[in-house]
């Protein structure tokens, strides 16, 4: 076990293992104080009390969506990660025969700075690219590029479903997004009958993995077999996604390793890089450039807004002058909106973050009462910026624990009979 940015990790990088059998998060029974916070934030009930003392455990891997909300909300730091590719990535970075490719997600650049003392949410995209270059990554490619690809693919799929609705052989409406790996395991596990409603698109990282070893290999003249792709995510469930058996469409494993924001911060510190003095740098061309539509994938409602920026122009044939579609921006719960597209009509959309909310929308679709064309789901409340792999909210660990103890002591003192 190793401590990385206040979270314990097992330094275990499984190879060729079925991710369905891996505990990506688990409770350290010696640190669990039986407060039940994890059970309350868990949407599925995978984490629960296992004995009279109220000690909690993830009872079975099949019920756990690997979202890590239990971990980021545990006030006692009792929940650890079961998988870490950090040592393997360091090894590959040192190997001159391996071409190591970076693939950071949008939300990483809004969390990483916090590990270096910057205010919550500080955007550190260019510094992140510079740090990756200093760490020795050979290609600084970016998952935001493939977020743009996702919009092209998923937006086109939505337009096809809407245009051909009711025709034979057309996939049904509403279309659900497929970017979030916690949500994907959730729908496969709890609502498999809804799978035809889920976009057939891979998530942006699934796309970048296969594009890097085909298109990227071709563009740079690099043999794909020498490439080692590192997915860098605000997320724990992405480790599961990277290990999915079918993610091998490039002819190799599309994603060789997955680390999260905390682990990247650890690597930067371990390598002795002074993050705060780095001058911002651009990513490498062809699979590095991105847009505002891509960066908003990091927040709940972002995929929806980015897709609508495309769908509006394709369906109406007109230019969308103001790309802000603020009605779909979602902080908590479920948000729905009607978006008027000239020459087409109304596109009805819903955005949900948190799997309990997702479940409500799933039940609605099953009952045939869903009025929507397009539904975005993110497993973590607020979206990826609040992912299970992001730096912890310092208040969760510090003030919650201290204030709970202080309150109990106060209450207890007040009740104590005067001697």
Q: Which residues are catalytic?
A: 154, 157, 179, 199, 238, 241, 246, 384
CA distance 149 to 151: 5
Rounded Cα distance between 180 and 237, Å, is 8
The reply to whether 318 sits near another protein by the rule CB under 8 A is no
* 295: three-class secondary structure by DSSP: helix
First to last CA, the chain: 48
For another protein, give the closer residue by CB, 99 or 149. 149
d(CA 240, CA 184): 11
Q: Which is nearer to another protein, 229 or 295 (CB)?
A: 295
When asked if residue 309 is in the footprint of another protein (CB under 8 A), the reply is: yes
Rounded Cα gap, residues 48 and 33, in angstroms = 13
Contact pick of 294, 315, 352, 361 for another protein (by CB under 8 A): 294
Q: How many residues does the chain have?
A: 419
Asked if 73 touches another protein (CB under 8 A), the answer is yes
Whether the Cβ atoms of residue 355 and residue 332 lie closer than 8 Å to each other: no
Out of 18, 51, 62, 164, the residue judged to bind another protein by CB under 8 A:
62
Instruction: Please list every residue from 176 through 205 that binds another protein, using CB under 8 A.
Output: 184-185, 187-190, 192, 195, 198, 200-202
Strands (E), 78-157: 79-81, 99-104, 139-140
Considering only 269, 288, 336, 344, the residue that binds another protein (CB under 8 A) is 288
Of 99, 115, 310, 339, the one binding another protein (CB under 8 A) is 310
Instruction: Identify which of residues 46 and 135 has a Cβ nearer to another protein in the complex.
Output: 46
Cβ closest to another protein, residue 84 vs residue 300: 300
What gap in Å lies between CA 33 and CA 59, rounded to an integer?
17
Contacts of 240 (CB under 8 A, 6+ apart): 19, 22, 24, 66, 181, 185
Instruction: List the interface residues with another protein, window 103-142 (CB under 8 A).
Output: 106-107, 110-111, 119-123, 125
270 in helix, strand or coil?
helix
250 binds another protein (CB under 8 A): yes
> How crowded is residue 277: how many other Cβ atoms within 10 Å of its Cβ?
7
**337 near another protein, rule: CB under 8 A:** no
- Min dist CB 130 to another protein, Å, is 16
Contact between 290 and another protein (CB under 8 A)? yes
Instruction: Give whichever of 84 and 229 is closer to another protein, judged by the CB atom.
Output: 229
R_g over Cα of the chain: 22
Choose which of 2, 8, 22, 35 interacts with another protein (CB under 8 A). 35
Under the binding rule (CB under 8 A), the answer on residue 281 touching another protein is: no
Piece in contact with another protein (CB under 8 A), picked from 24-32, 166-174, 224-232, 399-407: 399-407
* CA 380 – CA 299 distance, rounded (Å): 10
Q: Is 174 one of the binding residues for another protein (CB under 8 A)?
A: no
Give the β-pairing of 47-49 and 99-104.
unpaired
Q: Is 149 in the site for another protein (CB under 8 A)?
A: yes
**Alpha carbon distance 67, 382 (integer Å):** 13
Residues 85-104, interacting with another protein (CB under 8 A): none
With binding defined as CB under 8 A, does residue 77 bind another protein? no
Residue 289 engages another protein in binding (rule: CB under 8 A): yes
**In 44-157, which ranges are E strands?**
47-49, 56-58, 79-81, 99-104, 139-140
Taking a C-beta distance cutoff of 8 angstroms, is the pair 288, 149 a contact? Answer: no
Instruction: Tell me whether residue 119 or residue 223 sits nearer to another protein (CB atom).
Output: 119
Residue 259 vs 325, nearer CB to another protein: 325
| The binder of another protein chosen from 8, 320, 327, 334 (CB under 8 A) | 320
Question: Least distance in Å: CB of 216 to another protein?
Answer: 10
């Amino acid at each position: 076990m190793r401590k990385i940015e206040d979270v314990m990790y097992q330094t275990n990088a499984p190879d060729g293992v079925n991710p369905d059998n891996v505990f990506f998060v688990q409770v350290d029974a010696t640190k669990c104080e039986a407060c039940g916070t994890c059970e309350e934030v868990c949407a599925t009930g995978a984490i629960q009390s296992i004995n009279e003392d109220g000690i909690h455990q993830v009872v079975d891997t099949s019920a756990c969506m690997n979202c890590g909300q239990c971990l980021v909300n545990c006030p006692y730091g009792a929940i650890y990660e079961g998988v870490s590719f950090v040592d393997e990535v360091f090894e590959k970075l040192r190997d001159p025969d391996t071409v190591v490719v970076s693939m950071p997600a949008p939300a990483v650049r809004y969390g990483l700075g916090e590990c270096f003392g910057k205010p919550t949410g500080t955007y550190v995209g260019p510094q992140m690219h510079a740090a990756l270059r200093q760490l020795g990554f050979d290609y600084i490619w970016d998952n935001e590029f493939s977020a743009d690809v996702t919009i092209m693919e998923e937006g086109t799929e939505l337009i096809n479903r809407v245009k051909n609705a009711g025709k034979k052989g057309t996939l049904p409406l509403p279309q659900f997004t497929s970017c979030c790996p916690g949500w994907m395991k959730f729908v496969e596990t709890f609502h498999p009958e809804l799978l035809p409603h889920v976009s057939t698109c891979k998530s942006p990282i699934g796309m970048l993995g296969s594009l890097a070893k085909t298109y990227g290999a071709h563009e740079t003249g690099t043999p794909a077999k020498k490439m080692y792709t590192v997915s860098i995510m605000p997320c724990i469930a992405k480790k599961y996604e990277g290990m999915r058996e079918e993610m091998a469409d490039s002819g190799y494993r599309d994603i060789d390793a997955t680390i999260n924001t905390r682990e990247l911060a650890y690597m930067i510190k371990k390598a002795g890089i002074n993050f705060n003095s780095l001058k911002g740098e651009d990513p490498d061309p062809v699979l590095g450039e991105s847009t505002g539509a891509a960066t908003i994938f990091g927040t709940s409602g972002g995929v929806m807004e980015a897709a609508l920026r495309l769908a509006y122009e394709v369906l109406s044939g007109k230019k969308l002058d103001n790309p802000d579609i603020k009605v779909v921006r979602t902080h908590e719960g479920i948000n729905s909106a009607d978006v008027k597209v000239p020459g087409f009509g109304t596109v009805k959309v819903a955005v949900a973050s948190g799997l309990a909310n997702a479940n409500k929308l799933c039940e609605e679709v099953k009952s045939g009462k869903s009025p929507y064309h397009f539904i975005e789901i993110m497993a973590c409340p607020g979206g990826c910026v609040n992912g299970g792999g992001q730096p912890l909210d310092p208040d969760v660990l510090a003030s919650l624990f201290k204030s709970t103890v202080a309150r109990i002591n106060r209450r207890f003192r007040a009740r104590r009979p005067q001697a």
